[in-house]
Amino acid sequence: MDDHLACLLASNEAWADAVSAADPDFFANSARKQAPKFLWIGCSDSRVPESVVTASKPGDIFAHRNIANQVLPDDDNVHAVLTYAVGTLKVEHILVVGHSHCGGVAAAYWASQNPPVPPSDSLTRWLAPLTALAVLLGIGNVQPSEAAITLLVEENVKAQVTNTAASVAVKKAWAERQRVWVHGLVYDLETGKLKDLGVSVGPGKC
């Protein structure tokens, strides 16, 4: 067995044993059901694990992650997650979370600086809407590039909050007077802290 995998499995066993020692019923209770209050829609970046950065336990956060935390209107994957989280689990808060130094956002920014060409691979196609957003907002006019990418991280989160609020699952929940809010956050890799962008939307004031 590869040493890295062996280390990972050993760490898992040690963690499971420690959790069981502290709370003998934890895993039995966890296996019966989940009742999270939060849906986290974040980036796939390995440095932003939602349960770790929020000091949450398994079962606290339902999660969906993809490159650059996108909520695209034609992505059945994210909309299936929204449908289940809102309709079945009845989560109360949807967190759209971007992060500093996002590689996906940086790639979209640099793509927006070049003449438009048809996407050549799956990653470029995935990021095409974000690249188009950068062009639309004139992000390339911000100098230096680090500042432009930071701005695009936040504007991307705001756009995905809008897309989430416009989803069938969320609109249905609001029509049925279900309590669910959509929030936009950015995680700062250099401080480990979440920033609320102040763009929350919902059935009432949160």
78 vs 180: CA distance, rounded Å: 17
Q: Is 99 considered catalytic here?
A: yes
Q: Are 54 and 142 in contact (CB under 8 A)?
A: no
Integer CA distances (angstroms), 115 to 19, 64, 106, in order: 53, 32, 16
173 vs 159: CA distance, rounded Å: 20
Q: Are 86 and 62 in contact (CB under 8 A)?
A: no
Catalytic residue among 79, 93, 102, 183: 102
Catalytic residue among 7, 17, 23, 47: 47
Q: Are 130 and 104 in contact (CB under 8 A)?
A: yes
Catalytic residue among 64, 79, 93, 99: 99
Q: Which two tokens stand for residue 18?
A: 């420690």
DSSP 60: S
Catalytic residue among 17, 45, 101, 179: 45
Crossing angle of helices 103-112 and 122-137, rounded to 10°: 60
Q: Is 206 considered catalytic here?
A: no
Q: Is 43 considered catalytic here?
A: yes
Among candidate residues 46, 77, 76, 49, the one with its CA nearest the CA of residue 61: 49
Q: Are 182 and 91 in contact (CB under 8 A)?
A: no
Q: Is 45 considered catalytic here?
A: yes
Q: Is 47 considered catalytic here?
A: yes
Q: Are 48 and 99 in contact (CB under 8 A)?
A: yes
Which residues are known catalytic residues?
A: 43, 45, 47, 99, 102
